[in-house]
Amino acid sequence: MAIVVFGSINIDLVTYSQKLPRPGETLHGESYAINLGGKGCNQAAAVARLGGDVQLVGRIGSDDFGRTATALLKENCVSTKHITTDPEANTGLATIGVDNNGENCITVIGGANMAVDAEDVQRNRDLFSRAELLLLQMEIPLEPAMIAADLVRRGGGKVIFDPAPVPRDGIPKEIFERIDIITPNETETELLTGIYPTSHKEATQAAKVLLDRGVQSVILKLGAKGCCYCAPGEMMVPIPPYKVDAIDTVAAGDCFNGGLAYALSQGLGMVEAVQFAAACGALSTTRAGASSSAPTFDQVKLLMKDDR
């Protein structure tokens, strides 16, 4: 089953320090790294690392970071065939701080990602029309993302939407009706529904708000508390977290979504696919980096076998 990711490609400039600085504070860190990132790119790399059939559609700039990204994409086994080099924009950039507990904070400068438009959809029309699963995030403009979503759904495919980062003015109601599976984390859930899910009851309430807006199914990513799956007319299914030693949570959510798409493409049912995705997300936290932190199929199977 062919998976298409339409999304961002960034270079991540990452600093590792004991703690994250407070506003106005300067502190000495321990090390830094220049990594391949971007939520779209990370999701594509996650599918590729598992052995899935995936194509990434997006833009980079014609700058040094663009050349670095191209080389790293190849290293991560992600095809660059559907990636356009934009002569007028810089490659997307993220500055990321990671502390000793593996927590992070991220600032993204969209650059070429935010120049993505309907032309990118047109150029790849056939690819979108044939896609069986489309992975979207919110680091490219919503309008081309929704044109692609409509093409995929018209062709009988499904759309997995990661509302990350949630735009300041929220997401218009008509967007939800074009999404098959939405996968917010706790903060995104609160921004979208007004409910921060700290309990089973609150998670169910938040999922219901999203289902009432027209989404086909909801997966809430609850970090160290695991995740839960909810569909109309069904009881919410809680999926407990996998126990791992987390050192870096960057891209955990992206590896989750890549894993989810891979599992669905292999014919797994929703609950089994969410369990597989949760294992992918958990394993990614045991490695530093973004795209490069995605686990292999064997690593995921081993964790699922050992943990349960």
How many Cα atoms are found within 13 Å in the side-chain-facing hemisphere of 237?
Answer: 17
Closer of 27 and 34 to ligand RIB (Cβ):
34
Closer of 217 and 249 to ligand RIB (Cβ):
249
Contacts of 137 (CB under 8 A, 6+ apart): 7, 8, 39, 40, 43, 161, 162, 163, 164, 254, 257
Does position 227 interact with ligand RIB (CB under 6 A)? The reply is: no
In whole angstroms, the minimum distance from the beta carbon of 34 to ligand RIB comes to 12
Judged by CB under 6 A, which of 3, 7, 16, 39 binds ligand RIB? 39
Q: With beta carbons less than 8 A apart as the criterion, state whether 9 and 69 touch.
A: yes
Active-site option among 63, 254, 298, 307: 254
Contacts of 210 (CB under 8 A, 6+ apart): 176, 182, 184, 192, 193, 218
Does position 139 interact with ligand RIB (CB under 6 A)? The reply is: yes
In whole angstroms, the minimum distance from the beta carbon of 122 to ligand RIB comes to 25
From 32-40, 70-78, 198-206, 213-221, span contacting ligand RIB (CB under 6 A): 32-40
Q: With beta carbons less than 8 A apart as the criterion, state whether 29 and 278 touch.
A: no
Does position 94 interact with ligand RIB (CB under 6 A)? The reply is: yes
Q: With beta carbons less than 8 A apart as the criterion, state whether 5 and 139 touch.
A: no
Does position 140 interact with ligand RIB (CB under 6 A)? The reply is: no
Judged by CB under 6 A, which of 108, 151, 195, 278 binds ligand RIB? 108
In whole angstroms, the minimum distance from the beta carbon of 119 to ligand RIB comes to 22
In whole angstroms, the minimum distance from the beta carbon of 222 to ligand RIB comes to 16
Contacts of 113 (CB under 8 A, 6+ apart): 7, 8, 9, 10, 38, 40, 58, 59, 92, 139, 140
State the residue number with the nearest CB to ligand RIB. 37
Closer of 72 and 133 to ligand RIB (Cβ):
72
Contacts of 265 (CB under 8 A, 6+ apart): 1, 2, 3, 52, 53, 132, 133
Task: Determine the Cα–Cα distance for residues 173 and 188; give it in Å rounded to an integer.
Answer: 16
99 belongs to the catalytic site? no
Site for ligand RIB in 238-297 (CB under 6 A): 250-251, 253-254, 290
Q: Which of the residues are catalytic?
A: 254
* List of residues contacting ligand RIB (CB under 6 A): 8, 10, 12, 37-39, 42, 94, 106, 108, 139, 250-251, 253-254, 290
